[in-house]
Amino acid sequence: MELQIVAFYFFADEILKASHLHDDPQAKMTNAEVITAVLTAAQFFHGNQRTASRFLKQHGYIPNFLSESHFNRRWHRIPTCIWHKLFEVLAEYFKSQHSSNEYVVDSFPIPICDNIRIFRSKILSGERYRGYIVSKNRYFYGLRVHLVATTNQEPVEWILTPGAESDINAFKRLDLDLPEDATVYADKAYTDYEYEDFLKENNLNLIAERKENSRRARDECLCYLQKYWRKRIETTFSRITGMFPKCIHAVTSKGFELKIFAFILAYSLKLMLQ
């Protein structure tokens, strides 16, 4: 635990220095300490920042911890580009260490409330957030994470979308900054022959699972690989969501999204340290 907390601080501090984001000389907590606290909460306390702050203060990691309201304002003020830069550095590391040229894409839902409480939701509103979980045959209300990972379960790219957005449409919004001739395995929801051809012209291979009436059937070997790697990314999702509390508490949509970002970032950092 101590090693990870120190690593959180060192990593955040180095990225902040490289980004030329300087601290206010009068600030009680540095930006690196704020990021460290957010990641510590995500990794060890199911995102509970109050518990994390008490732990970090009592054990001398951050003795001058801010009040809860002041801390919330501080971590919301950290530029979005810094959070993205933190993840991008990890993603580049994972890709550079990945011996295979194979990746997997899939999505998982993050409900913000039960269906019966949709009209009481103050964070999100609108039908575009009502998504459907095929495997559970039920609807949810919230966001969906669309994530590309190595076959070693390391996240290299992801985006958040409203729950109703289809997997293939979200996939088209990804940068897909992958090595040349990379192969991306996916399920049936990513079937789009035209987009597959477009990616192939750009030296990327999308291997989506085929439906029974598909005009482009897959051989048995590819079908086996698809199912095998899909199970791996499902394990990745289980590990990430295993860090979540029963309900992610947030007052604003930005706060909700930042907490999701923190969970994925903390999970990625843990993998790098293994």
Q: What is the mean pLDDT of residues 16-34?
A: 93
The residue that leads in pLDDT, 140 or 146, is 146
Same domain, 151 and 240: yes
**Average pLDDT for the chain:** 91
Q: What is the mean pLDDT of residues 120-134?
A: 83
Looking at the structure of the chain, the number of domains it has is: 2
Distance of alpha carbon 77 from the chain centroid: 20
Same domain, 113 and 212: yes
Chain position carrying tokens 């990794």: 43
Three-state DSSP state, 99: coil
pLDDT at 211 over 80: no
Domain assignment present for residue 269? The answer is no
272's CB contacts (< 8 A; 6+ apart) are 90, 93, 94
Same domain, 99 and 232: yes
Domain assignment present for residue 268? The answer is no
Domain assignment present for residue 233? The answer is yes
Same domain, 67 and 98: no
pLDDT of residue 218: 65
pLDDT of residue 115: 57
pLDDT of residue 251: 85
Q: Are 158 and 88 in contact, with CB atoms under 8 Å apart?
A: no
Same domain, 113 and 239: yes
Q: Which residue range is the domain that position 23 belongs to?
A: 1-78
Q: What is the mean pLDDT of residues 93-122?
A: 83
Chain position carrying tokens 């190595």: 150
What is the phi/psi pair of residue 77, to 5°?
-85, -15
Domain assignment present for residue 28? The answer is yes
- 133 burial class (0-12, 13-18, 19+ CB within 10 angstroms)? middle
